[in-house]
Structure 1
Amino acid sequence: MADFKQDAQELLDAIGGKENVNAVTHCATRMRFVLDDPSEADKDRIEDIPSVKGTFTQAGQFQVIIGNRVADFYNEFSAISGLEGVSKDDVKSAGKQNMNSLQRLMAALAEIFTPLIPAIIIGGLILGFRNVLEAVEFGALGGQTIVETSQFWSGVNAFLWLPGEAIFHFLPVGITWSVTRKMGTTQILGIVLGITLVSPQLLNAFGVQDILAGDVNQWDFGFFQLDMIGYQAQVIPAMMAGFLLAYLEKWLRKFIPEAISMIFVPLFALIPTVFVAHAVVGPIGWQLGIWLSQVVQWGLTGTFNWVFGFIFGGLYAPLVITGLHHMTNAIDLQLVADFDQTILWPMIALSNIAQGSAVLGIIWLHRGNEKEQQISIPAMISAYLGVTEPALFGINIKYVYPFVAGMIGSAFAGMTSVALNVASFNIGVGGLPGILSIIPEYWIGFLIAMAIAIVVPIVLVVVFEKNNILTKWENDHLPIPKLGN
């Protein structure tokens, strides 16, 4: 069994000592530090430590990759340093001191949507599977769909709409809950607020024609009326309402005595918010969402949509580094709400594949480098399954040229995807499994784009390294076997 005592002491010294550590914790594979002065951390010295497999900085945190034994390493580090660990939420909060205003905004957006992603991914898979059952005609079935030929699968198809509807039509409930969770206010009030936005009493937001025709029930207050319109699947109205509730609750707690706060804070926070959400915030948020989705859809379907696809495909990986990629969740969900599909999300899956393929190129070129492969192989698998941070921070950004190769491959794959109008039902599993969320009629186009995202980065990594393009061998301390020129 490995003894981490010496390595832990070396890490403590290399990060600037105990005095430089504001907070520390660990996750599944990494030590996560918030440093008072990040410049005091000697990255080269740290990466020379035998137990360390890489370092990177993200969201104001200095992260050191240890691997599956990170818990044992952390215990040794804690014993040597005398530093008590804190929760990951506390580390995130402390890390904000090293973030600028834009990074804080993106971190807040990420904290809202990250808890919702598992449900959204499952919902995307459900919609994709249901479409195969009810919309794809198979020659082996005489040109009929599976639902038309099997009562069992017809029942399965109908049953699966229960969770599908819960995830997407009632998405505002999850959003308002997540906002209150992130803001540290009363979460059940967020849930209740979300329910009031999608109540069965209200006209379903998908009944657009009824809304346009004016066939809408109203609350009649005598001197004014308020349309009873729901906000099913709407993202921006739910976010705006959630923040209104959270800030109102915080403001009320400053003035209402604690002895009666349990009664009057929820009352005076929830009821006014529900009213303002339907009278002001909802309509404004709905219109903002429509404008946003129309602009993006115009870029994705206009004359020069291939240019949009090339740019977005190429720049998505840098967006991941900055944290700005989290805003695409809201855009995707708004596109689905307005157009029943999204052309944007398939490019995200292709970017995952491209960065994973760049790592695969490195694995091939550097075969025999066992220490690097402890990072590169899991990073490649993770990227192919839709999570690119290990690939980006552990390998591609470190060497630069695989990162650029992945960007170029993603750019051409994105251009191809948009040019072929590849669309998905919704957000789904990224990377290679992403095809499960693609509308079946676009599978061939997605497979073509996928092939580009796999082949181009691998070829470019080999070309770049063999020709010393964008390489920085003199700055890298790892012994890397190279192919002959």
Structure 2
Amino acid sequence: MSDNRRIAEEIIKAVGGKENISSIAHCATRLRIMVEDKENINQPAIEEIDKVKGAFYNSGQYQVILGTGTVNRIYEEVEKLGIEGMSKSDQSKEAAKNGNLLQRSIRSLGDVFVPIIPVLVATGLFMGLRGLVMQEQILALFGLTLADISDNFILFTQILTDTAFIFLPALVAWSAFRVFGGTPIIGLVLGLMLVSPSLPNAWGAAVGDVEPINFFGFIPVVGYQGSVLPAFIAGIIGAKLERQIRKRVPEALDLIVTPFLTLLVMSFLSLFIIGPLFKSVEEYILQGTLFVLGLPLGLGGLLIGFFHQIIVITGVHQIFNLLEIQLLDKFGNNPFNAIITAAIAAQGGAALAVGVKTKSKKLKALALPSSLSAFLGITEPAIFGVNLRYGKPFLMGLIGGAVGGFTASLLGLKATGMAITVIPGTLLYLNGQILPYLLVNMIAIGVAFTLTWLFGYSDKEKKM
């Protein structure tokens, strides 16, 4: 029997057996198990299973942290044992019945944005690479200057870096329709209507190059390039409207009537009501974010760096995706990324200190890979498997994140993209910021490691 097969069997047994599992899914790092009765879960047994880096129950799902790559293999073995699988989206809908209103709302926001993030990551990398190749020092290595760069090359780089944000409402509306039970292609077309070239360009209107169209004499309408909330709200309402229309339309007419009425009603609501209203809300959110980031003497970075990982463990951190998208769209850069990178790196530094200091082979085997995972941008194994379990390392990681975030603010670091941090995140700072970025990471890791080593962990206090 393979190790992964044995681990799958042990997990099933520890969560109460097949009869206690209603469905199972997985994300990048965790098995997400919906159980019939959480009282039947044997938490100590789960934590003793090889490759398990931690487990916790949150909003209707029992989440077993296994790490990237490993989780896919264990999930395959679980399915082979006859456990019914479910897509993460479907399971999220089921789990959405649990938790408070804020948790459910943020979880829905996350479900919409997660499929979009890879293209935004790619866009950020393109921005970073463009910043790298356009540096005078880099061009000089090839005997070139900025004057030698052709207009066609500049145009090509703009296609790479601008497309995702120009059509962002289409991506958001498509994903929202998918999550909330509508037909995704209808959502895609609705989102494209929001950025139709027939409308005044949003960025042109913002700088005064074009004037909004005044409908009915008092509703100013522009395109919604780069906007998120209007498309998100339109996607939710549109998906629910489509489902209601479909229930009432005869099957023979469904193909014609349902998409026609959905797009007719939603195009009117989106352009004339939802768009103007939530564009204003979006602007208030952006201004609030800028206020915190702009607090004097690095205070904004210190606060965000300290509290970020606390927010992560509450499960409502998906709201940050919206903030980062707004920053990138408005300014072409993202100061938030460097600060949260420090918070993530610091948790890795704390877990690393535990792994180096402990004499326990099992804890060492858990803590060291968990710290590497954090340095690659995924902190769940370090947080839930090590730092929170022993308490003090998590606190030392928060302090390290605060110091690192403080430094990032003082240095004025601004990423070219989002969603990747620490080691992979270096690609977002190739535009002349790589050295200060590395310095911020080393400070965050160093502070968290040192404090954890001196005050945060001792084998005399707790053993695995």
TM bucket, shorter chain: 0.7 to 0.9
- Which range moved further: 233-242 or 53-62? 53-62
- Residues 346 and 438 of structure 1 are in contact (CA less than 8 Å); yes or no, is this contact kept in structure 2? no
SS for the counterpart of 1:440 is coil
Counterpart of 2:279? 286
Residue segments in structure 2 that go unaligned for 5+ positions in a row: none
Asked if the contact 2:356/2:364 (under 8 Å) is kept, the reply is no
Out of 347, 353, 366, the position equivalent to 2:358 is: 366
CA contact (8 A) 1:421 1:442 kept: no
- Separation in structure 1 between the aligned mates of residue 192 and residue 444 of structure 2, nearest angstrom: 41
SS at match of 2:34: strand
The whole-number CA distance in structure 2 between the counterparts of 1:467 and 1:24 is: 37
Q: CA deviation at 1:45?
A: 2.7
**What are the superposed Cα offsets for residues 454-482 of structure 1, whole Å, 9 maximum, x if unpaired?**
201111111124668xx951xx5x2xxxx
CA distance in 2, matches of 1:219, 1:395: 58
- The CA deviation at 1:113 is 0.8
Report 1:328-367 matches (<5 A).
328-366=320-358
Aligned to 1:482: none
SS, match of residue 324 in structure 1: coil
Q: CA deviation at 1:224?
A: 4.4
Counterpart AA for 1:269: T
Maintained 8 Å contact 2:60/2:99: yes
Match of 2:43 in 1: 43
Matched, 1:186 2:151: no
Match of 1:405 in 2: 396
Measure how far apart 1:199 and its partner are: 1.9
State the partner residue of 2:288.
295
Residue in structure 2 matched with residue 255 of structure 1 by the alignment = 248
- Partner-residue secondary structure (3-state), 2:173: helix
Amino-acid identity (%) = 33
- Post-superposition Cα deviations, 1:300-327, rounded to whole Å, max 9, x if no partner, equal 12436x2222111111112111221110
TM-score by length of 2: 0.88
Residue correspondences, number: 463
Q: Separation in 1 of the partners of 2:328 and 2:7?
A: 50
Partner Cα separation in structure 1 for residue 400 and residue 327 of structure 2: 25
Deviations 1:147-179 (A, max 9, x none): 43455xx75543222122211222111111111
What does residue 216 of structure 1 align with?
211
What pairs with 1:197-208 in structure 2 (closer than 5 Å)?
197-208=194-205
Task: Specify whether residues 192 and 219 from structure 1 end up closer, same or farther in structure 2 by C-alpha distance, changes over 3 A only.
Answer: farther
Give 2:428's aligned residue.
Answer: 437
Distance 1:246 1:208, change over 3 A: same
How far did 1:412 drift? 0.9
Q: Does 1:418 align with 2:417?
A: no
Q: Secondary structure at the match of 2:372?
A: helix
SS at match of 2:24: strand
User: In structure 1, what residue type is equivalent to 2:383?
Assistant: L
- Is the aligned partner of 1:452 residue 2:443? yes
Could you report, residue by residue, the CA deviation over 1:331-385 in whole angstroms, capped at 9, with x for unpaired residues? 111122333323222212222211222222222123661x445543433232212
Work out the CA distance in 2 between the residues paired with 1:139 and 1:115: 34
Letter in 1 for 2:423: L
**Residues 234 and 286, structure 1, Cα contact 8 Å, conserved in 2:** yes
Deviations for 1:208-261, whole angstroms, at most 9, x for unmatched residues? Answer: 3554x7x426477xx647655211111122212222322221222232223312
1:464 pairs with 2:464: no
Post-superposition offset of 1:409: 0.5
Aligned AA (1:462): W
Q: Corresponding residue for 1:141?
A: 140
- Could you tell me how far apart the structure 2 residues matched to 1:8 and 1:385 are? 26
Q: In structure 1, what residue type is equivalent to 2:325?
A: L
Q: 1: CA distance between counterparts of 2:183 and 2:231?
A: 16
Instruction: Please provide the CA RMSD for this pair.
Output: 3.3
Amino acid at match of 1:123: T
The separation in 1 between residues aligned to 2:325 and 2:376, in whole angstroms, is 21
Q: 2:167 aligns with which of 165, 170, 173?
A: 170
User: Is this contact kept in 2: 1:365–1:462, CA < 8 A?
Assistant: yes
Q: 1:347/1:66 Cα in 2 relative to 1: closer, same or farther (>3 Å)?
A: closer
Distance 1:375 1:457, change over 3 A: same
Partner secondary structure for residue 413 of structure 2: coil
Q: Structure 1 unaligned runs (5+)?
A: 479-485
User: For residues 253 and 139 of structure 1, what CA distance do their matches in structure 2 show?
Assistant: 58
The partner residue of 1:242 within 227, 235, 241 is 235
Higher alpha-carbon Rg: 1
1:138 counterpart SS class: helix
Cα distance in 2, alignment partners of residues 385 and 28 from structure 1: 13
Query: Relative contact order, CA 8 A, sep 6+: which one is greater?
Result: 2
Deviations 1:170-209 (A, max 9, x none): 2111111111111120111111111111122222211135
Specify the code of the residue in structure 2 equivalent to 1:137: E
Distance 2:287 2:338 in 1: 18
User: Quick one: which of 249, 269, 276 aligns to 2:262?
Assistant: 269
